[in-house]
Amino acid sequence: MALLFFGTDPNSGGGNCPAVWVDADTAQGPELVLHGKFADAATRATCRQDSPPADGSVI
């Protein structure tokens, strides 16, 4: 796995999460790797309306 660090939220207060990487070394093509907290149920439901999660996804 070759992760390319993309960045963090400059307002996180600690330079930590949320953070984003790109994994360019996957058979399916580039994938985003996100580090953060789990969204609440209402946020997850709204996200699913726009883009249903793929099998094995965490949302």
Model pLDDT, residue 59 = 62
Model pLDDT, residue 4 = 92
Which residues, including other chains, have CB under 8 Å from residue 32's CB and lie 6 or more apart? 20, 21, 22, 23
Q: Long-range contacts for 43-50 (Cβ within 8 Å, ≥24 apart)? A: none
Tell whether the model's pLDDT for residue 23 goes beyond 80. yes
Tell whether the model's pLDDT for residue 8 goes beyond 70. yes
Q: What is the mean pLDDT of the chain?
A: 83
Tell whether the model's pLDDT for residue 40 goes beyond 80. yes
Q: Are 20 and 9 in contact (CB under 8 A)?
A: no
Q: Are 22 and 4 in contact (CB under 8 A)?
A: yes
Model pTM greater than 0.85?
no
| Stronger pLDDT, 41 or 53, i.e. the higher one | 41
Distance CA 19, CA 52 (A): 22
